[in-house]
Amino acid sequence: MISLCMIVRNEESNLPRVLGSVLGLVDESVVVDTGSTDRSVEVAKSLGARVEFFEWIDDFSAARNHALSMARGDWIMVLDADDEFEREDIPLARRILETSRASGVSVRHFLLYPGEPPGVKRQMAFVRNRPEHRYVWRVHEQIPVDPATVERSALRVTHHGYTPELLPLKNGRNRRLLERMKSDPDPLGRVAASFYLGTLHQWEKRHPDAIREFKAAAYSGLPCPYRLYSVFRLAQLASMAGERDYAESLLRVLLDANPGLIEAELELADLCREAGRIDEARRHFEISSASRLRLLPYESTPWEDRARARLRGALFGLEVSR
């Protein structure tokens, strides 16, 4: 049995799409409403969902865990209201869940950005219904599952939430929750909060604020991926500011510990190109193309697509085939 678990607030326009996309896949849909003032509850019920309620307490994990506690299935599927499962993949999904021995199953999550090619992120969308599988962190929440126990699948989910009219509202909400998360007791959560705050500031071109947050994460002393992510973002910002020696030193620290890291190899190739070290730039570009080691959990991003196109043209005189 497969249970879909969702939390929603004012999602009446999105619910028909997301619930319709999993018809024939899930055996029950649990929709937890956190305070809608529109017709979300009525729409969810009309589409066959079981609706529960949870008072919003500025904590996505608390709301999601309430939804998970309501699930009756052996497997739990987690989607956002602005997600859409690829219906062509339903037979494959059922076969995977019937035979998998994994703790979770990840999908290819297509993120639609305004005016950009989609990014493709690895995200766990299915997890076994066990008491220990619960979310942590008040925002950018996740279930701590050993990655070695998560099966990678070709299943596809599209995320429609990055629209120009919604992004400022979401970013403002996330900024407020991340500031609170920096004071939460979990040290890993605090480092993650600094990274995500830095990312928000970088996206909004508030670079001094981004640098402050990335440095807080990078120099936290806590061994975790968010330190590495922050070192890479610091290198990007240093390069943009013309501090190429500092940027290169940060990238080489990453590559000394993680040879072939795709994002770092690409960024270093660009720095070498700008410095006129063309042979070295080509070498780093070719390493990035042959490597499978990624820093971030993305199969592709608009940044990477642009970097590869720019470097192919500058280093090899090649146009990108689309």
Gap between the Cα atoms of 292 and 250, Å rounded: 21
pLDDT score at 318: 58
Low-confidence ranges of the chain (pLDDT < 50): 319-322
Q: Domains in the chain, ordered, with CATH?
A: 2-159 (3.90.550.10), 167-316 (1.25.40.10)
pLDDT score at 322: 33
pLDDT score at 167: 87
pLDDT score at 321: 40
- Per residue, the 3-state secondary structure of the chain, as one string, reads CEEEEEEECCCCCCHHHHHHHCCCCCCEEEEEECCCCCCHHHHHHHCCCEEEECCCCCCHHHHHHHHHHHCCCCEEEECCCCEEECHHHHHHHHHHHHHCCCCEEEEEEEECCCCCCCEEEEEEEEEECCCCCCCECCCCCECCCCHHHEEEEEEEEEECCCCCCCHHHHHHHHHHHHHHHCCCCCHHHHHHHHHHHHHHHHHCCCHHHHHHHHHHHHCCCCCCHHHHHHHHHHHHHHHHCCCHHHHHHHHHHHHHHCCCCHHHHHHHHHHHHHCCCHHHHHHHHHHHHHCCCCCCCEEECHHHHHHHHHHHHHHHCCCCCC
